[in-house]
Structure 1
Amino acid sequence: MMRKMMMAAVMGALMMGAAACNTVKGAGKDIQSVGQAGSDAIH
């Protein structure tokens, strides 16, 4: 249950971050920060 909620939050953040960035470089930073946040939450 908690894992599904975490994945939903990560995916939502990824979609919002992708919509907010204007450049490919910005998209890479957004994806990296979302991945780091997910990793931190799991550990």
Structure 2
Amino acid sequence: MRRILQASSLLALLALAACQTVQGAGRDLESAGQVISRESQEVQAGS
């Protein structure tokens, strides 16, 4: 029983860490997309 509790605690911790990592990566990609969009709008406006 104790082994199952330890394993489930470890899995919960890993799942939480993975979720935070994916969320951070999503924010980074969103930022990059906004920069690219802004730059392309500036180029189109200048043409």
TM-score, length of structure 1 as denominator length: 0.49
* Greater relative CO (CA pairs within 8 A, separation 6+): 1
Decide which structure has the larger Cα Rg and report it.
Answer: 2
Q: Which has the higher helix share?
A: 2
Give the TM-score of the pair, scaled to structure 2.
0.45
